[in-house]
Amino acid sequence: MNPPPESPQPRRWPRRLRTAGLWTLGVLLVLALTGAGLGVWSVRRAFPEHGETLSLPGLTAPVTVLRDEHGIPNVYAETSDDLFRAQGYVHAQDRFWEMDFRRHVTAGRVSEMFGADQVETDRYLRTMGWRRVAEQEWSLLAPQTRAALSAYADGVNAWLAATTDTEGDGFAPSGALSLEYTVLGLRNSDYLVERWTPVDSLAWLKAMAWDLRGNMEAEITRAALLAGGLTRPQIEQLYPSYPVRRNLPIVTGGAVVDGAFAQGAASPAPGGVTGTPTTPVGYTLPPAARTPEFSAGLRGLADGLAALPGLMGTAGGDGIGSNSWVISGRLTDTGKPILANDPHLSPSQPGIWYQMGLHCACGLEVAGFTFSGVPGVIIGHNAKIGWGFTNLDPDVIDMYLEQVDGDRVKVGDRWEPMTTRREVLKVAGGEDVTITVRSTRHGPLLSDASEELREIAASPQVGGASYGVALRWTALDPGRTADALFALNRAGGWDEFRAAAALFEVPAQNIVYADVDGNIGYQSPGRIPVRAKGDGTWFAPGWDPGYDWTGFIPFDELPSVRNPERGYVVTANQAVIGDQYQRRLTRDWGYGYRSQRIYDLLDERIGAGKLTMDDVERMQFDNRNGFAPTLVPALRSAPRGELSGLESGADALLTGWDFQQPAGDRAGEERSSAAAAYYNAIWANLLRLTFDELGEENRPDGGDRWYEVVRALLETPADPYWDLRSTPEVERRDDILARAQDDAARELAKAQGDKPADWRWGAMHTLTPRNATFGESGIGPIEWLFNSDTVGVSGGSAIVNATGWSADAGYEVDAVPSMRMILDLADLDDSRWIQLTGNSGHAFHANYADQAELWRTGRTLPFRFGRSSVDKAAVATLTLRP
């Protein structure tokens, strides 16, 4: 047996950031200096001043920045330009290394920082051309958006000029900026910090779109499995229909009427969910591409894309999602709405979010979670409305199989020239690398960036031509999403909120809404393609123009709800709407286990009385496994034969288990935690045994799609998937269920001892927030400098407290509720929030990880907004003067 590793390394970038030799010696030198006392100065010299008077050129009047004990700033300015200039300055104070790294990622310039190991990363990023698209967007934006971005950039550059020496057109990368620059200098002494530009901020929105991009991995995996020999029905079995009758969609009624969505419109037809055809639709692969070599090439492409920097998520994995819900005031104890949101993203140190309040005499009053490097507030509230995001996850990417001959591509019965451009990758410590990027009318040839597919393309296959894979993605069309963010920050009611949402193109997000007047609502925005042929599920033939996109779903036709009769809206990446809706959004939804649990908790609490803020906080930390009630009875009914003492003790854990998954480090949690440990070990082993046909490269990750796959298999005891390929016998369902339990008991005995009652879910389900750059350097002392401590956590995949893990890699957490926010629209100062780590990006700073334990245990901080409450909590006052 080969159980999942107990402490696996997560599959996040930059695992290729490995160094040796002089680099290691340099690290040891730094540590030696630390021991001599110089290290304290090296660390603390970058800590920003939070309580003095500083100069910020360009201001028209003084700006006040009040910080509380957690380093959360509220900024007070006279004009919007001053406000965003100060926001840029404050972001740079606390998070500039993160900002600098991100802009190198979005520009495909990571190898300029870290050397030749990152050329492959840059090849993919330059091929897609995120930065080029961002540059094209600049001229499309509203004047006030450009002004905000420019003022923000001026603030960042003012901080750079005040903190380090100017060198030509840039700045010296000294340790005064951040400790990371000291470490980087040991390897790359020639690095220069460039001035911040407005396009640096715009390009970050492309990274956001990439990490929330939808079903790209599913599309590639389906094609790889087909090329590798599985049949189409076998593959379709691995992608079941959304269970609309068991797990409610977001919008439970309505349809398009006369070119607009009407929430009260009668359903024209009963049935399943939109985007889930009963018969296969679309194109797959031609016979010449159904080869082991092409399958391996597609897996190589998928691996290359998965290794790209996941600045927000784990590259489209099942763990990336979010929860949000909004409750009408007629159901709350305050008489006004309550809005909750917790986006599920990759864990990192520092966390993805920066908490902040922005207050302007010009009328802009907004507070919430921001992205360092981007002006404004992403999720939060102003004085009138509050909003939250979850990933809508529509199918906005299509993979096109192209017939390529040199720099020509087949279109119908003729050949067209591709567009080409040359890109020069500058490499720290090495020679420049020049690449050629080729694009068809669908988009860039990703196969050119993949070493495996480049080799296949070098061998002609179809009448002297070869195959390439092109990417069609909405985010590669210039758009105005930046306008949407500022319009949302200023919106004062439902109509202005919807007008802002209409500008929100990529990534498409479910947006929940509440206002101080008592209204609640939901809107699904985004640029979502319309296809003449195919459903976006399988590769499309690039040579057939019938598979091209014909347009985008009009905003007015996208589902929305205002003040629903039931009194609440729940979004958790489930299906948006049933098949009465005439447009196709996707067929690759989340499967609704989190959303249905939230529905059930709301209904249960409403039946007992009015909902409170405390009720909502407890709901956000709910740890119930939604599939265990289905699988546990099947496990217990499988014949086992004579059991050992270990096996008997393990099986007894499941008797009376409440299906909760606590870490197990608090009194009263022990029994549930032991049962959760055993159950999840069974689940990992069950998936490994059942789906051995998929090979190591396609092993199930165990998310809620696999809940539905296994649910169906439990009803078919003789399904071929139950049979092990490695044995001459023909196994059936009960054979695999029994073996999975035996293997799980032995695995846990080896890892945690032979007393099942002592097993703990938190001992295996661990979280280590890692620095996005040096946190996986492979050098222990460096990782110690920047990473947070490893801790056991509650929750799990497809659970409301969504601490995701991948069954193909182990039990370590790879996705988390990156923040939790609860808004009280009766009294905004009674709102609550928390983030994964802390507001500071400086290692060893008091605010680097001061929210982590609160987050881990389901607690929150006061979310202050009014000036009097902000003043009362302030521990430091920074004054910025012209």
Per DSSP, the residues of 544-557 read: -GGGSEEEE--GGG
Q: How many CB atoms neighbour CB 776 within 10 A? A: 23
Residue 276 placed within a domain: no
What confidence tens digit (pLDDT) does each residue in 195-228 have? 999 999 999 999 888 888 878 889 999 999 999 9
Any idea what the CATH number is for the domain that residue 708 is in?
Answer: 1.10.1400.10
3-state SS class at 357: strand
pLDDT band at 320 (very low <50, low <70, confident <90, very high): low
Give the pLDDT score at 19.
Answer: 42
pLDDT band at 172 (very low <50, low <70, confident <90, very high): very high
Give the pLDDT score at 660.
Answer: 98
Helices (H), 14-66: 22-36, 38-44
Helix/strand/coil (H/E/C) assignment for every residue in 73-96: EEEEECCHHHHHHHHHHHHHHHHH
Helices (H), 472-565: 481-490, 494-502
What confidence tens digit (pLDDT) does each residue in 631-661 have? 999 999 999 989 999 999 999 999 999 999 9
Q: Would you give the DSSP letter of residue 462?
A: B
pLDDT at 32 over 80: no
pLDDT at 104 over 60: yes
pLDDT band at 9 (very low <50, low <70, confident <90, very high): very low
d(CA 341, CA 319): 16
Binding site members for Ca(2+): 219, 395, 398
d(CA 317, CA 336): 36
d(CA 341, CA 327): 12
| 14: Cα separation from own chain's centroid | 16
Give the pLDDT score at 453.
Answer: 87
Give the pLDDT score at 239.
Answer: 95
Query: Can 322 be counted among the known catalytic residues?
Result: yes
Q: What are the beta bridge partners of residue 639?
A: none
| DSSP characters over 722-783 | GS-TTSSS---HHHHHHHHHHHHHHHHHHHH-S-GGG--HHHHSEE----TTGGGSS-HHHH
Identity (one letter) of the amino acid at 614? D
The whole-number average pLDDT for the span 297-308 is 88
Give the pLDDT score at 280.
Answer: 44
pLDDT at 274 over 50: no
Residue 718 placed within a domain: yes
Give the pLDDT score at 260.
Answer: 95
Cβ(787)–Cβ(775) under 8 Å? Answer: yes
The number of distinct structural domains making up the chain is 1
Residue 462 placed within a domain: no
> Residue 704's domain spans which residues?
628-659+662-759
Helix (H) or strand (E) holding 166: strand 166-167
Task: Report which of residues 215 and 721 the model is more confident about.
Answer: 721
Measured at the alpha carbon of residue 67, what is the angle toward residues 64 and 70, in degrees to the nearest 5?
165
The whole-number average pLDDT for the span 543-556 is 96
3-state SS class at 214: coil
Give the pLDDT score at 3.
Answer: 40
Cβ(822)–Cβ(860) under 8 Å? Answer: yes
As a dihedral over the C-alpha atoms of residue 301, residue 302, residue 307, residue 311, rounded to 10 degrees, the angle is 120
d(CA 837, CA 696): 34
Give the pLDDT score at 131.
Answer: 97
Give the pLDDT score at 70.
Answer: 98
Residue 866 placed within a domain: no
What confidence tens digit (pLDDT) does each residue in 407-419 have? 999 999 999 999 9
pLDDT band at 319 (very low <50, low <70, confident <90, very high): very low
Q: How many CB atoms neighbour CB 838 within 10 A? A: 27
The whole-number average pLDDT for the span 594-613 is 97
3-state SS class at 223: helix
Among the listed residues 150, 295, 322, 869, the single catalytic one is 322
Cβ(102)–Cβ(79) under 8 Å? Answer: no
Closest by alpha carbon to 572, among 301, 763, 241, 817? 817
Cβ(167)–Cβ(486) under 8 Å? Answer: no
Give the number of C-alpha atoms closer than 13 A to the C-alpha of residue 622, restricted to the C-beta side.
24
**What is the pTM for the complete model shown?**
0.94
Residue 172 placed within a domain: no
Asked if the bond preceding 633 is cis, omega within 30° of 0, the reply is no
pLDDT at 7 over 70: no
Residue 689 placed within a domain: yes
d(CA 411, CA 83): 52
Residue 634 placed within a domain: yes
Strands 365-370 and 166-167: unpaired
Residue 534 placed within a domain: no
3-state SS class at 645: helix
What confidence tens digit (pLDDT) does each residue in 847-857 have? 999 999 999 99
Give the pLDDT score at 211.
Answer: 82
As a dihedral over the C-alpha atoms of residue 133, residue 139, residue 142, residue 145, rounded to 10 degrees, the angle is 60
- Can you read off the two tokens belonging to residue 217? 């991995």
Cβ(133)–Cβ(478) under 8 Å? Answer: yes
Q: What are the beta bridge partners of residue 365?
A: 359
